[in-house]
Amino acid sequence: KHIRMGNLPVDTLRPLDPDTFAADSSAVVDFLAGYYRDVDKYPVRAADLEPGRLRKLLPDAAPEWGEPMERILDDVRRDVLPGLTHWQSPTFFAYFPMNASAAGFAGEMLSVGLNVVPFVWVASPAATELEGVVVDWMARLVGLPDRFVFSGGGGGVLQGSTCEAVVCTLAAARDRALRGIGHEGIVRLVVYASDQTHATFQKGARLVGIPPANFRVIRTTAASGYALTGNAVRAAVEDDEARGLVPLYLCATMGSTGLGAVDPVRELGEVARRHGMWLHVDAAYAGSAAICPEYQGYLDDAELADSVSMNPHKWFLTNMDCCCLWVASPATLTAALSTYPEYLKNVDGPAGGAKAPPAGVDYKDWQISLSRRFRAMKLWFVLRRYGASGMRAYIRRHVAMAEWFERAVSADERFEVVAPRRFSLVCFRLRPPSTDQASDDGGVNRELVAAVNASGRAFMTPFVVDGKFVIRLAVGGAMTEMRHVRDAWELLQRTAEQLLGQR
Amino acid sequence: KHIRMGNLPVDTLRPLDPDTFAADSSAVVDFLAGYYRDVDKYPVRAADLEPGRLRKLLPDAAPEWGEPMERILDDVRRDVLPGLTHWQSPTFFAYFPMNASAAGFAGEMLSVGLNVVPFVWVASPAATELEGVVVDWMARLVGLPDRFVFSGGGGGVLQGSTCEAVVCTLAAARDRALRGIGHEGIVRLVVYASDQTHATFQKGARLVGIPPANFRVIRTTAASGYALTGNAVRAAVEDDEARGLVPLYLCATMGSTGLGAVDPVRELGEVARRHGMWLHVDAAYAGSAAICPEYQGYLDDAELADSVSMNPHKWFLTNMDCCCLWVASPATLTAALSTYPEYLKNVDGPAGGAKAPPAGVDYKDWQISLSRRFRAMKLWFVLRRYGASGMRAYIRRHVAMAEWFERAVSADERFEVVAPRRFSLVCFRLRPPSTDQASDDGGVNRELVAAVNASGRAFMTPFVVDGKFVIRLAVGGAMTEMRHVRDAWELLQRTAEQLLGQR
């Protein structure tokens, strides 16, 4: 019964043997449960920052023979963990949060284990339909207008990142514009964003072939809370039109990366509409807050937007990666992204079969790649396991902590809050000792954040705005509690005291 | 101690409570172990192909209150599973395999649970370094030339799909070319592939702004085994150059999607070199076979290529998604993809810190997105748990099964093998009853594949080449054994008998 190849019985390896699977997986579950129990004992930022350390520890070639799971997990513990920054640590306040949760993990495991590829509806109808359902649920929760849900003529998709969402919508806007002016018009297309817009936008514009000289980075100021204004965009657009250029795409942000600023979506939508531009709303981080009525106004205003994106993998307990992209016109998106290769035809009729959305949606035509993971499962698990009210309480808990921190900073005259806090991000600094240092190179604030991070007891990242070096404290970890924020503030105060004392 | 928001104690939800995490995760492990035990009892292709069925079963809005894990898993079992095509079923022979394994699953769980985001080296040094190590290991295993490993001046990255790899390398090639001829030259850039190249390539070229009129689809024939020839490419290139166009990029395939054809990499490399084109080798499926010495010649020849990609998520037991992309010149890639936003500066010096590769690699500059998952973990787990020899045996087992199937088809005079089998994909059909049906619309073969798929006992997808409707049997499932291939052949024979009898 055995087929043999050389000396090896070729049926030795049974990669999905249920018993081995259960044993190996249970070992990892135990490992992770222990990790969560102890994560606050690790230095939150990687303890070991020696370049090449891990490479030196590992052999130059893959092992010839398989090894037991325990040995591999021991190596993870000994060699890999010290070189990781612990994004799930309750004292991680850097960048933006990247949430993990038991439900997000469970949903992702299920999707990874089933390992289906719902690239066309027919390749796993339930996976496509579940995705359509959960993006509709999310659209309703964050208060998006009807035009972004399937029954309203729009629809959503789960992608991996905002950059993918931006690339896809830029390509859709570009192809729509080029149908009118011909492909050589690509060098006349102009895109607009603010100096607070995520870097991903310029990268995306460059990827789809917009000339780098045609990216307009519009300056924002403290007066508008570092938000774009309709007037500033209009001025830039009219200037470009006068030079024979073609305004293509405007990116508005709800909750900018540096400062948490919010661009006025309705006002920008009116400018975009008047000049035939695509308006995208990037709500990557703060879109999660819009599930709370007190934050819903921001996305109500998306009535004039062509697309909106937000990342449940940031602040919505959905493990990496998961980005919701909604578009008002699926046909414009798929016109830029669809393919019908031969090997997808003739399976139960044309690819996609019936065309009543979202049943007939072939999600390969809504994204960059052909293949895709079953991401809907994990977002569905998060929504069902925690419910809308659980998620609102979760968001509000972080906002309350950030409010507390903001009040604490404001009450200490050595410090100042640099930009208005809207969500769970607080931007602050030690006041410069004299006015001539208002525009400093970081100075004591640079030393402050470096010392805090080196302590391993909190991790924050800095930002520079108007020449001011500021420290960002982004609350949003799944395990972050009030005491962690209080400890971080005490650590900042103590460290500041030492640094100021040395001067 | 409680902070309250309205009536809700805001610390109710503890999303990473270790005990809840362990309980929820163990329930999913049990669910999946049971699924693997029973997967061959499900109809392999989705039993339920009624559009909109799942949507009708689910409520219109997310639940307001959280629910227990058991209830959610019951709904998965009852509502979702009947609408899935079971890609891990041992009788899944459609498209290409998408491998899952206990080790791939364990590694992915660990990465999902740690949920770190190694977008820059400093954001988790060990994650970046492990990725550098495993892509080097894979490069050695598949026999790539030194120029694709870090110590040879090149390097690799793990992306999500071939399409991403193609978009990134196209952008790199495009920007290199435009530096010489100016951005308006984008409309003169031409890309080349065969009529067997994956659809992803045209989609990628379109995404980066190459005019659709500048995609050359070079016809292949049975004479070359449906491979590109250097002569055909040279003729097309010279024709374009004579018209003032600029040859940019040539895509060669090792193991084409339709037929498993192999383009001659060395011959194509010489043409590409002579005309200043970027040569990419897409070894998405068959690259895995190159770990066996008998298949290594194909990639040895990549000496003249600029980039090579293969997907461990297809035939290398690494759960979705995982695509290795190797480039000979990382600097050319990162010139097109790098960004240095303000909020990444000033953390322990410039982003990336020390620059000795791969320690100093910031992988955000090697891919489309800024954020990224820790994919290296799962490929590392696969390589360590099964070892190179385990993986070779695994690949050879599938090749042996495909060989058996090919012999069986050849021995039955009603059938014919349509294209030479090189790996584990066999393309065959029932011989047309008369010569005037040599170029048919599928006829009895279309009925044959439809009947087999409808039985739920095997799933295959068709392809059309030279006007011939052929059936593809792609062996490569993690649970596929000889008996499943034998059963599929018996099912094909029996069904063919019935269909031919009815005529």
Domain map (residue ranges) of chain A:
12-41+46-84, 117-373, 391-502
Alpha helices in A243-373 (DSSP H): 265-274, 297-300, 312-315, 330-337
Class of the A391-502 domain? alpha beta
What average pLDDT does chain B have?
Answer: 92
| Alpha-carbon gap, residue A469 to A418, rounded angstroms | 10
| Alpha-carbon gap, residue B159 to B366, rounded angstroms | 9
pLDDT by residue (tens digit) across A379-402? 999 999 999 999 999 999 999 999
Q: What is the mean pLDDT of residues B254-282?
A: 97
One DSSP character per residue, A450-484 reads: HHHHHHTS-B-EEEEETTEEEEEEE---TT--HHH
Do the Cβ atoms of B36 and A16 come within 8 Å? yes
Do the Cβ atoms of B129 and A54 come within 8 Å? yes
Q: What is the mean pLDDT of residues B391-406?
A: 97
Specify the pLDDT at position A435. 54
pLDDT by residue (tens digit) across A285-339? 999 999 999 998 888 789 999 999 999 999 999 999 999 999 999 999 999 999 8
**A141 in contact with B at a CB cutoff of 8 Å?**
yes
Do the Cβ atoms of A464 and B116 come within 8 Å? no
**B47 in contact with A at a CB cutoff of 8 Å?**
no
Contact B190, B238 (CB under 8 A): no
Q: Which two tokens stand for residue B44?
A: 């392999």
Q: Does domain A12-41+46-84 have CATH number 3.65.10.10?
A: no
Specify the pLDDT at position A433. 72
| Alpha-carbon gap, residue A369 to B163, rounded angstroms | 5
Which ipTM value was assigned to this complex? Answer: 0.94
Q: Which of A121, A140, A384 lies closest to B67 in CB terms?
A: A384
Determine if the peptide bond prior to A118 is cis (ω within 30°).
no
Do the Cβ atoms of B98 and A108 come within 8 Å? no
**Position A346 confidence tier, pLDDT thresholds 50, 70, 90:** very low
- List the beta bridge partners of residue A251: A280
Specify the pLDDT at position A502. 86
Q: Which of B397, B400, B409 is nearest to B489 (CA)?
A: B409
Specify the pLDDT at position A11. 52
Specify the pLDDT at position A503. 78
Mutation pick from B5, B7, B11, B13 vs chain A, by most beta carbons of A within 10 Å, is: B13
Distances (CA, A) of B394 to A113, A419, B321, B402, B458: 19, 58, 20, 13, 21
| Whether pLDDT at B78 is above 70 | yes
**B407 in contact with A at a CB cutoff of 8 Å?**
no
Specify the pLDDT at position A72. 98
| Alpha-carbon gap, residue A8 to B392, rounded angstroms | 10
**Position A3 confidence tier, pLDDT thresholds 50, 70, 90:** very low
**B340 in contact with A at a CB cutoff of 8 Å?**
yes
**Position B296 confidence tier, pLDDT thresholds 50, 70, 90:** confident
Residue written as token pair 């439900």: A103
Specify the pLDDT at position B344. 57
CATH number of B147-372: 3.40.640.10
pLDDT by residue (tens digit) across B217-235? 999 999 999 999 999 999 9
**A350 in contact with B at a CB cutoff of 8 Å?**
no
Q: Which two tokens stand for residue A164?
A: 């993918």
Which A residues in the span 120-139 are in contact with B, Cβ-Cβ below 8 Å?
121-127, 129-130, 132-133, 136-138
Q: What is the mean pLDDT of residues A52-81?
A: 96
Q: How far is B67 from chain A (nearest CA, A)?
A: 5
Task: Give percent of chain B with pLDDT exceeding 90.
Answer: 87
More confident residue, B144 or B299: B144
A191 Cβ contact list (under 8 Å, min separation 6): A170, A201, A205, A210, A214, A215, A216, A248, A249, A250, A251
- Phi and psi for A466 in degrees, rounded to 5? 50, 40
Which residues of chain B make contact with A110, given a CB cutoff of 8 A? Answer: 28, 31-32, 76
Contact A157, A180 (CB under 8 A): no
Q: Which two tokens stand for residue B69?
A: 């894990």
Rg (CA), chain B: 25
**A77 in contact with B at a CB cutoff of 8 Å?**
no
Do the Cβ atoms of A400 and B339 come within 8 Å? no
Task: Give percent of chain A with pLDDT exceeding 70.
Answer: 92
Within 10 A of A439 (CB to CB), how many other CB atoms are there? 12
Fold: same for B147-372 and B385-502: no
| Alpha-carbon gap, residue B73 to A125, rounded angstroms | 18
Which residues of chain B make contact with A80, given a CB cutoff of 8 A? Answer: 126-127, 130
Q: Which of A14, A161, A464 lies closest to B371 in CB terms?
A: A161
Q: What is the mean pLDDT of residues A179-197?
A: 96
Specify the pLDDT at position B434. 66
Q: Which of B85, B98, B385 lies closest to A72 in CB terms?
A: B385
Judge residue A244's burial from the number of C-beta atoms within 10 Å of its C-beta, 0-12 exposed, 13-18 middle, 19 or more buried: exposed
pLDDT by residue (tens digit) across B40-74? 999 999 887 889 999 999 999 999 999 999 999 99
Q: What is the chain B residue with the closest CA to A361?
A: B51
- List the beta bridge partners of residue B190: B247
Q: Which of A3, A336, A369 lies closest to B163 in CB terms?
A: A369
Mutation pick from A368, A391, A418 vs chain B, by most beta carbons of B within 10 Å, is: A368
Q: How far is A474 from chain B (nearest CA, A)?
A: 13
**B494 in contact with A at a CB cutoff of 8 Å?**
no
| Whether pLDDT at B467 is above 70 | yes
Do the Cβ atoms of B109 and A109 come within 8 Å? yes
**A381 in contact with B at a CB cutoff of 8 Å?**
yes
Residue type, B225: G
Specify the pLDDT at position A82. 94
Q: Which of B25, B138, B383 lies closest to A29 in CB terms?
A: B25
Do the Cβ atoms of A62 and B140 come within 8 Å? yes
Helix/strand/coil for B61 = coil
- Phi and psi for A250 in degrees, rounded to 5? -125, 130
Mutation pick from A56, A181, A203 vs chain B, by most beta carbons of B within 10 Å, is: A203
Q: What is the mean pLDDT of residues A239-247?
A: 98
| Alpha-carbon gap, residue A343 to A231, rounded angstroms | 51
**A32 in contact with B at a CB cutoff of 8 Å?**
yes
| Alpha-carbon gap, residue B424 to B289, rounded angstroms | 9
Which residues of chain A make contact with B472, given a CB cutoff of 8 A? Answer: 343
Q: What is the mean pLDDT of residues A480-487?
A: 97
Do the Cβ atoms of A86 and B388 come within 8 Å? no
pLDDT by residue (tens digit) across A19-33? 999 999 999 999 999
Q: What is the chain B residue with the closest CA to A116?
A: B87
Judge residue A365's burial from the number of C-beta atoms within 10 Å of its C-beta, 0-12 exposed, 13-18 middle, 19 or more buried: buried
In the A/B pair of chains, how many CB contacts fall below 8 A?
Answer: 589
Q: Does domain B385-502 have CATH number 3.90.1150.10?
A: yes
Indicate the pairing of strand B425-430 with strand B468-474.
Answer: antiparallel
Within 10 A of B9 (CB to CB), how many other CB atoms are there? 13
Class of the A117-373 domain? alpha beta
Within 10 A of B482 (CB to CB), how many other CB atoms are there? 18
| Whether pLDDT at B436 is above 90 | no
Helix axes B102-114, B376-411, angle to 10 degrees: 150
Mutation pick from B10, B108, B334, B389 vs chain A, by most beta carbons of A within 10 Å, is: B10
Specify the pLDDT at position B468. 93
**A47 in contact with B at a CB cutoff of 8 Å?**
no
Do the Cβ atoms of B462 and A343 come within 8 Å? yes
| Whether pLDDT at A439 is above 80 | no
Do the Cβ atoms of A60 and B18 come within 8 Å? no
| Whether pLDDT at B4 is above 50 | no
Q: Which two tokens stand for residue B11?
A: 């610390």
Contact B81, B295 (CB under 8 A): no
Which residues of chain B make contact with A124, given a CB cutoff of 8 A? Answer: 46, 83-85, 87
Residue type, A58: L
Q: How far is A488 from chain B (nearest CA, A)?
A: 18
pLDDT by residue (tens digit) across B11-40? 578 999 999 999 999 999 999 999 999 999
**B161 in contact with A at a CB cutoff of 8 Å?**
yes
| Alpha-carbon gap, residue A224 to A231, rounded angstroms | 12
Specify the pLDDT at position A8. 40
pLDDT by residue (tens digit) across A68-116? 999 999 999 999 999 999 999 999 999 999 999 999 999 999 999 999 9
Mutation pick from B8, B30, B55, B396 vs chain A, by most beta carbons of A within 10 Å, is: B55
C-alpha torsion A489→A494→A500→A501, nearest 10: 170
Which residues of chain B make contact with A359, given a CB cutoff of 8 A? Answer: 51-53, 55
| Whether pLDDT at B351 is above 50 | no
Query: DSSP code of A396?
Result: H
Do the Cβ atoms of A16 and B88 come within 8 Å? yes
Contact A372, A143 (CB under 8 A): no
Contact B116, B122 (CB under 8 A): no
Do the Cβ atoms of B347 and A462 come within 8 Å? yes
Indicate the pairing of strand B189-194 with strand B246-253.
Answer: parallel
| Alpha-carbon gap, residue A347 to B95, rounded angstroms | 11
